[in-house]
Structure 1
Amino acid sequence: MGQRVDFVNVSTEGLESSPVADALAGLRANESRYFKNKYDVDFVVTPASESTDRIDYVAHILENERDLVIAAKPLETAEVEVDGIRWTHVFYEDGLAINVLYTLADAGKRAVGFKLSDGMDVPAELADRFKFARQKSKLAGTIRGSFFVIKGEY
């Protein structure tokens, strides 16, 4: 059973074990606000223990595309499908959020995005491989983000 993320009253529920729980909750709320404002869709998160298929899907893409294995523990996932695009999100205990944007039609946009919560260090597995741009957010403070384009079919 999932939980709708409220971007007005930001909660750390489900993220309490993270050392940057407040910032990660803000990052999660920022994603929720984006989907509500752009697509009028609720952003619903599910505990990692109940959504291993999503975690495996993201891990499979990371490993196949860039030989990446994320060391952090996944806490929650979310999946939104709208306008022929599926977004799969995984929120990790260290404050990392990964999303896979995958256009279901052939020749559409497909990419993996990384977002770092305010106050967390860049994970070792990403440090020398990606450059992170900064973005200010009222909900999440400073978000550092990067991405890569997916070349394979998933």
Structure 2
Amino acid sequence: MAYEVDFTNVSPIGLESSPVAVALAGLRANEARYFKNKYDHVFVVERAENAQKTIGWVHRILKQERDLVIQSRPLEATEFQVEGIRFAYVFYESGLSINVMYTLDDEKKRAVGFKLSDGMEVPPELAPRFKFAKQKSKLAGTIRGSFFVIKGEY
């Protein structure tokens, strides 16, 4: 079942099994607000079992680009296209959010982003490879983020 993320009344619907469900819901709402304000796009997520194609695409990029395998269970995902950019998001039980920004006409503007919910530890598969910068969010508290540039074609 699809869920339209409400960034006005933040809810952990679909994320309840996460030990940082409230913070992860804030992180998800933060992304929804960004896309509504920047692109007038409504952020809709699906349960992981209904979004296997999207999750598979994100995991394939992680594996092929950086030999990364995320250990946490995916809870939700979304995929959409705005202004010539394909976006995919996967929200994990640990509180991790991974997004792919994949421009369709410019291979130099493609990246994978990692965001950590407030209160979660850096996952061991990411800890030795990435440094995380902090940013404050009214919806999500302190978000820690990192990224890498995609070099291949997907």
User: How far is 1:116 from its partner?
Assistant: 0.1
List aligned pairs for 1:77-88, cutoff 5 A: 77-88=77-88
User: How far is 1:94 from its partner?
Assistant: 0.3
User: How far is 1:108 from its partner?
Assistant: 4.4
2:90 partner amino acid: V
Distance of 2:28 and 2:106 partners within structure 1: 29
For the aligned residue pairs, the C-alpha RMSD in angstroms reads 0.7
Q: Name the residue aligned to 1:74.
A: 74
Distance of 1:106 and 1:122 partners within structure 2: 31
Q: Name the residue aligned to 1:143.
A: 143
List aligned pairs for 1:1-154, cutoff 5 A: 1-154=1-154
TM-score, normalised by the number of residues in structure 2: 0.98
Percent identity between matched residues is 71
* Secondary structure, aligned partner of 1:129: coil
Structure 1, unaligned runs of 5 or more:
none
Please list the CA deviations of residues 91-146 of structure 1 after superposition, one character each: whole Å capped at 9, or x if unmatched.
00000000000001143410000000000000000001000000000000000000
* Secondary structure, aligned partner of 1:81: strand
Structure 2, unaligned runs of 5 or more:
none
How many residues align? The count is 154
User: How far is 1:80 from its partner?
Assistant: 2.4
Distance of 1:77 and 1:144 partners within structure 2: 20
2:76 partner amino acid: E
* Secondary structure, aligned partner of 1:99: strand
TM-score, normalised by the number of residues in structure 1: 0.98
Hey, which bits of structure 1, 4+ residues long, moved more than 3 A? Answer: none
Distance of 1:28 and 1:36 partners within structure 2: 12
